[in-house]
Amino acid sequence: MPWKESSPVSQRNEFVRLASVEGANFSELCRRFGISRTAAYKWLDRYRTGDVNNLHDRSRVPHSSPGKTAAKIEAAVLQLRQQHPAWGGRKLRARLQALGHSHVPAASTITAILRRHGRLGERAGQPRDFQRFEHPEPNALWQIDFKGHFALDSGRCHPLTILDDHSRYAIGLFACENERRNTVSERLIAVFRRFGLPDRILCDNGAPWGASESPYTELGVWLLRLGISISHGRPYHPQTQGKDERFHRTLSVEVIQGQHFADIASCQDRFDAWRDIYNHQRPHEALSLDVPASRYRPSVRSFPERLPPLEYHDSDTVRVVQRDACIYFRSRPWKVGKAFIGERVAIRPQVDDGKYQIVFGTIAIAQLNLHQQNA
């Protein structure tokens, strides 16, 4: 079984959970994960026994046994808290229940246990009460951004995060050496091959997502060719990408803060292990203490290894963007943007006389008004 990234158990866990979602395309998931249907059914059968330890190559000691005493439950609370020092009573209780422990005490009792043993940190406070907005389906919107970089023994790490808006599922978490376009596109190709294509991506206005003279960059044009719409957050308003910003704070507290990393490889190993915990084990307050994997399913839109040709209506006027980043229409130049140089765009009339849309693929990228002087 060619489980290529992260640990084999983490890969199996992610596969069987995605394959168990109602309506999942089993054959397509096997292709994306690079495994045979025979192997896939074997791990799926083991997973359905209800014991996640069956996904290991060797048996493990069960997490629970009948008739646990109060002392054993208290020990389980402390052990789980040691593994996840940023989790409070609600998350610990939900996780203990998911692990099959019986007679799990209330969250307030677990908080009291932590306080009694001096394990209650400042981060275990009450959740803030505020209105949340989320898209109704997985893959309707992905949020993507770089978290602030930090020093390694050798170089610096630039964490690239990709989060599904609906489920909070961590689509990708990558330790990168830089924030260049090629670095981002390589990681995006990897997640597109595994999870399919989203409808839209939300990013900020900095490189490589945005440019000073245009909202579109070469990376953005490539995404548009794939049929993915692009949205940019308001300048100096990081709350536009609030879910990804919150994910960054959790990543900092639970993974990066106070830790030492030798190089990019060791950092990626830690990211892979934590991403599995975040998606499949860590109860999420915004999801009523469910885990993100309970609400996520891969996109039905598969990644095309070759970009499809652009197709326009017979009634469209088609132009190629020239080296000066302009198209020429009615004997006048119209600025489109450097990122589109060499690409074919369509000029499509609107209802108002003299007004046109400039369309790239299926996305309107600019307006053209013959009654105004072009800049």
pLDDT score, position 243: 87
Residues 264 and 350 in one domain: no
Q: Decide if 131 is inside a domain.
A: no
Residues 97 and 199 in one domain: no
Domain count, the chain: 4
pLDDT score, position 130: 41
Please determine, for residue 270, whether its predicted confidence score (pLDDT) is greater than 60: yes
Q: Report percent pLDDT > 70 for the chain.
A: 86
Residues 47 and 78 in one domain: no
Give the CATH number of the domain where residue 100 resides. Answer: 1.10.10
Please determine, for residue 290, whether its predicted confidence score (pLDDT) is greater than 60: yes
pLDDT score, position 90: 84
Distance CA 331, CA 327 (A): 10
Q: Decide if 162 is inside a domain.
A: yes
Pairwise pLDDT comparison (213 vs 362), residue with the higher score: 362
Please determine, for residue 296, whether its predicted confidence score (pLDDT) is greater than 60: yes
**Of the listed ranges 46-50, 96-100, 124-128, 304-308, the one predicted with least confidence:** 124-128
Residues 204 and 234 in one domain: yes
pLDDT score, position 252: 93
Residue ending a domain, choose from 81, 116, 151: 116
Element (H, E) at 59: none
Please determine, for residue 11, whether its predicted confidence score (pLDDT) is greater than 90: no
Residues 216 and 259 in one domain: yes
pLDDT score, position 83: 82
Please determine, for residue 123, whether its predicted confidence score (pLDDT) is greater than 70: no
pLDDT score, position 158: 96
**Of the listed ranges 77-86, 149-158, 232-241, 301-310, the one predicted with least confidence:** 232-241
- Print the domain residue range for 335: 317-369
Three-state DSSP at 76 gives helix
pLDDT score, position 192: 97
Q: Decide if 150 is inside a domain.
A: yes
Residues 148 and 209 in one domain: yes
Q: Decide if 154 is inside a domain.
A: yes
Q: Decide if 129 is inside a domain.
A: no
The CA-to-CA distance between both ends of the chain, in Å, stands at 58
Residues 240 and 334 in one domain: no
Residues 234 and 270 in one domain: yes
Distance CA 257, CA 145 (A): 19
Q: Decide if 301 is inside a domain.
A: no
Give the CATH number of the domain where residue 177 resides. Answer: 3.30.420.10
Residue ending a domain, choose from 116, 134, 152: 116
pLDDT digits (tens, 9 = 90+) for 20-35: 888 889 999 999 989 9
Please determine, for residue 326, whether its predicted confidence score (pLDDT) is greater than 60: yes
| Mean pLDDT value across residues 344-369 | 90
pLDDT digits (tens, 9 = 90+) for 142-186: 999 999 899 999 899 999 999 999 999 999 999 999 999 999 999
Helix axes 37-47, 26-33, angle to 10 degrees: 110
Q: What's the Cα-to-Cα distance from 226 to each of 77, 229, 364, rounded to whole Å?
A: 47, 9, 15
Q: Is the pTM of this model over 0.85?
A: no
Residues 285 and 238 in one domain: yes
Alpha helices in 200-281 (DSSP H): 218-225, 242-251, 264-280
Please determine, for residue 106, whether its predicted confidence score (pLDDT) is greater than 90: no
pLDDT score, position 303: 96
Element (H, E) at 227: none
pLDDT score, position 200: 93
Residues 334 and 238 in one domain: no
Q: Are strands 142-146 and 363-369 parallel, antiparallel or unpaired?
A: unpaired
Pairwise pLDDT comparison (54 vs 17), residue with the higher score: 17
Q: Decide if 126 is inside a domain.
A: no
Full DSSP string of 11-38: HHHHHHHHHTSTT--HHHHHHHHT--HH
Mean pLDDT, the chain, integer: 84
pLDDT score, position 118: 75
Please determine, for residue 64, whether its predicted confidence score (pLDDT) is greater than 90: no
pLDDT score, position 317: 95
Name the strands in the sheet holding 317-320, side by side, starting at the edge strand that comes first in the sequence: 317-320, 344-349, 355-360, 363-369
Residues 146 and 275 in one domain: yes
Pairwise pLDDT comparison (233 vs 221), residue with the higher score: 221
Residues 21 and 154 in one domain: no
What single letter denotes the amino acid at residue 267?
Answer: C
Number of Cβ atoms within 10 Å of the Cβ of 52: 21
Q: Decide if 28 is inside a domain.
A: yes
